[in-house]
Structure 1
Amino acid sequence: MPYLKTDGDVWDLECVDRGRSGIILKLNPTRVLKAPLIIHNMDASEEEKFEADYLKDDNISFLENEKATFQRLGYYEHIVEWHALRSGRIKMKYMSYGPLSRFWQYHTPSRKQLHSWICSIAAAITYAHSRNVIVDDIAARNILIDDDQSAKLCDFTDSAVLSFDVDISQESQDGASIYTDIFQFGSLVYEIITGKRFDFDLFHPSDAEEKHGEGIIPYWPDKNQLPLISHLDYGATILKCWKRGFEDMSSVNAEIQTYDRL
């Protein structure tokens, strides 16, 4: 399938992955390029072309938002390493093992490795919040596994870069906040420990509310909507993430770090 550059030319690079709004193209054995997802379909109807143009503009905006997020975050050991931010593209380190969601299909990580991943992602989110960034899309598909099988947080297309003048604990963007990040982290830990996804959407259209003057208000699950986790490693921490039992991600990170290595 041909993918287009923002100027309409076709990319002449191998596509190693694609997501909702972007594609990952391989530059060389150590570098990839992330670009907006623009699909070329010569047989599309006029209606389909109109929709494709609409999505193209959205996908370009998503990538520009991710570039702004990387600029704010800079370089951090538990976040995917980027090398250049250019018009319509981001150059990053090539992570040969790919996303965590795919890694599980071919490898069986040790309990020690699971613990290491959880610690790394907790530290990455804590760092992002310290830079006044709400991550907003924390899931196994957005965790990349490096050559040494360490875990790196990636994909900031939906992230919110807030002014340093505001208190991030009091802010939200389209319903996303540090508390929804903490909830998503809890779901990620549950998936890492059990190998099963907890697909509760805080922003499901039928549940989330849009109140006058307040924007979107996420819908938090009731106890009977949560899986049983008391018997799991990190079970108490996961439940606190889901039930808004933490004041901030720093508190989550501190609790995670106290666990003995498994």
Structure 2
Amino acid sequence: MCFMENPAPVFYAKCKHTVNVPKEPTPQMCPKAAKRSPPSWCPDPPKPTSKASSTNRLHLYMRLPLICTWFYDIVWPSITKELDESKDVVESQLDNLHTLQTNETGAISTLNSQPRTDKLEPTNTSGQFHTTQRSPFSHDPYIGLPIIGNGMTGIVLKMGERRAVKKAKKYPPGSFDDPKDMEYINKINQQTLENEIQVFERLGSYEGIIPYFQTSQYGIELALAEGDLESYLDTCAEREDSLKINWISSLIDTFAHAHSRKVFVDDIALRNILILDEKLKLADFGQSILLPPNTDITSADNDGLNVQVEILHIGWVLYSIASWRVHKYYFFNSENPDLCWPEPDSFPNVDDVLCGKVIRKCWQGEYASMENLKDEARQLLVGH
């Protein structure tokens, strides 16, 4: 509608015309609007008002809270909640920062043994290629959290009963004789974290992958698992074949998914497979390789890493589950500088082992792809 503002010259909110200021400013039509037949309010856009105008400023002040609410609820749906949670945790533990950050001994597993008690809702819900919205933290919100995992390039901190955060390991000044060494290692650790973020985004949400909720330059917020598979096999009594079969099938499906997303997992080890609600979840993708989306992964090779080498490692993981014993193996070790395939007689006999046929073919390099492995495993496990 046309309405009048103080002071003069008076502009109408939705037209370009001015009138003399009346003794008592009241809403009224401008002359042009009044001459219409029948008279009607001007639909034209408003002309910019002077700095002294109070009407537009009042309108802006009334709308600003709504704009802020829209921004945080729509653009970053969880950021307000996350910042509040992080702030509360940080403030409650700042006094213990020095003790917590230096207490790294004994933290071998990447996640605490606290069970998850309710449903988690990860941010990423699509299996398509996408980019996660990064949290606009202006500072590290994870300072002061207790360390529960300590790896080569990163550490894991506990945020609560349901969530943990993985951060790049950052060495303080004086950790190395040469400051350049410290800067170089810190840079590599940060790049490793950034690579892992990209891998999580490429893989998307999948049943066999540890859920992630939020990423930033400071870390990756993950579901807090109950432990890792290596520790579980070492400490828990052997479980029934039905659970073993479920775990073996789940892992095969998950690795097939990773390859379908053109990702070489690379660091395939029991310690990097977590347990959440008695289900296996792949984690730790810092060393993983992101191939171009149009790559034929069956013929891809990255410094000796290929589909057969990935499946070779998977075979050892499957064998560990089937035999309920920890078996560690890594193809790229100092004892194999020429990257020679293991001799057939170097593998254990798996004739009487659950899924022994599949495991043997993994070791012998007989699967051209994870899809081939998945198809044969399904046929073999149908009757179990």
TM range (shorter): 0.7 to 0.9
Q: 1:71 to 1:143 in 2, by over 3 A?
A: same
SS in 1 for 2:148: strand
Match of 1:238 in 2: 359
Are 2:101 and 2:147, in contact at CA under 8 Å, matched by a contact in 1?
no
Q: Which amino acid aligns with 2:367?
A: F
Query: 1:36 aligned to 2:135?
Result: no
Q: 1:89 to 1:257 in 2, by over 3 A?
A: same
Partner Cα separation in structure 2 for residue 113 and residue 8 of structure 1: 41
Among candidates 157, 162, 177, match of residue 46 of structure 1: 177
Partner Cα separation in structure 2 for residue 174 and residue 66 of structure 1: 19
SS in 2 for 1:157: coil
Gaps of 5+ in 1: 210-217
Query: 1:127 aligned to 2:248?
Result: no
Are 1:178 and 1:248, in contact at CA under 8 Å, matched by a contact in 2?
yes
Q: Which amino acid aligns with 2:189?
A: N
Matches of residues 135-154 of structure 1 in structure 2 within 5 Å? Answer: 135-146=265-276, 148-154=277-283
Q: Which amino acid aligns with 1:24?
A: V
Q: 1:30 to 1:199 in 2, by over 3 A?
A: closer
Note the alpha carbon deviations across 1:43-65, whole angstroms, 9 max, x for none: x4524x55443322221111111
Match of 2:212 in 1: 82
Q: 1:229 to 1:137 in 2, by over 3 A?
A: same
Query: 1:116 aligned to 2:246?
Result: yes
Q: Which amino acid aligns with 2:248?
A: I
- Higher mean alpha-carbon deviation, 135-144 vs 252-261, is at 252-261
Q: 1:34 to 1:8 in 2, by over 3 A?
A: closer
Q: 1:68 to 1:45 in 2, by over 3 A?
A: closer
Partner Cα separation in structure 2 for residue 199 and residue 104 of structure 1: 12
Note the alpha carbon deviations across 1:81-125, whole angstroms, 9 max, x for none: 011121131111111x11111223443332221111111111110
SS in 1 for 2:220: strand
Query: 1:251 aligned to 2:372?
Result: yes
Using structure 1 for the length normalisation, give the TM-score: 0.86
Q: Which amino acid aligns with 1:16?
A: I
Partner Cα separation in structure 2 for residue 51 and residue 98 of structure 1: 33
Partner Cα separation in structure 2 for residue 77 and residue 45 of structure 1: 42
Partner Cα separation in structure 1 for residue 322 and residue 279 of structure 2: 16
Partner Cα separation in structure 2 for residue 244 and residue 79 of structure 1: 25
Aligned-CA RMSD value: 2.3
Query: 1:221 aligned to 2:342?
Result: yes
Query: 1:167 aligned to 2:299?
Result: no
Match of 2:331 in 1: 202
Among all aligned residue pairs of Structure 1 and Structure 2, give the percentage whose two residues are the same amino acid: 28
> What's the offset of the Cα at 1:25?
0.7
> What's the offset of the Cα at 1:260?
4.4
Among candidates 18, 26, 33, match of residue 150 of structure 2: 18
Query: 1:188 aligned to 2:287?
Result: no
Among candidates 209, 228, 236, match of residue 107 of structure 1: 236
Q: 1:221 to 1:31 in 2, by over 3 A?
A: same
- Higher mean alpha-carbon deviation, 104-113 vs 11-20, is at 104-113
Query: 1:64 aligned to 2:194?
Result: yes
SS in 1 for 2:164: strand
Partner Cα separation in structure 2 for residue 220 and residue 196 of structure 1: 23
Q: Which amino acid aligns with 1:183?
A: L
Partner Cα separation in structure 1 for residue 154 and residue 145 of structure 2: 14
Are 1:115 and 1:261, in contact at CA under 8 Å, matched by a contact in 2?
no
Are 1:2 and 1:39, in contact at CA under 8 Å, matched by a contact in 2?
no
Note the alpha carbon deviations across 1:168-220, whole angstroms, 9 max, x for none: 111122221221111111010111122334444321234233xxxxxxxx321
Q: Which structure has more strand as a fraction of its residues?
A: 1
Are 1:21 and 1:59, in contact at CA under 8 Å, matched by a contact in 2?
yes
Q: Which amino acid aligns with 2:348?
A: P
Partner Cα separation in structure 2 for residue 69 and residue 24 of structure 1: 18
Note the alpha carbon deviations across 1:149-185, whole angstroms, 9 max, x for none: 1111111111111112221111122221221111111
Are 1:35 and 1:63, in contact at CA under 8 Å, matched by a contact in 2?
yes
Partner Cα separation in structure 2 for residue 121 and residue 66 of structure 1: 19
Partner Cα separation in structure 2 for residue 223 and residue 101 of structure 1: 25
- Higher mean alpha-carbon deviation, 167-176 vs 100-109, is at 100-109
SS in 2 for 1:104: helix
Are 2:307 and 2:368, in contact at CA under 8 Å, matched by a contact in 1?
no
SS in 2 for 1:231: coil
Greater RCO (CA < 8 Å, at least 6 residues apart): 1
Corresponding pairs, count: 247
Gaps of 5+ in 2: 1-99, 103-138
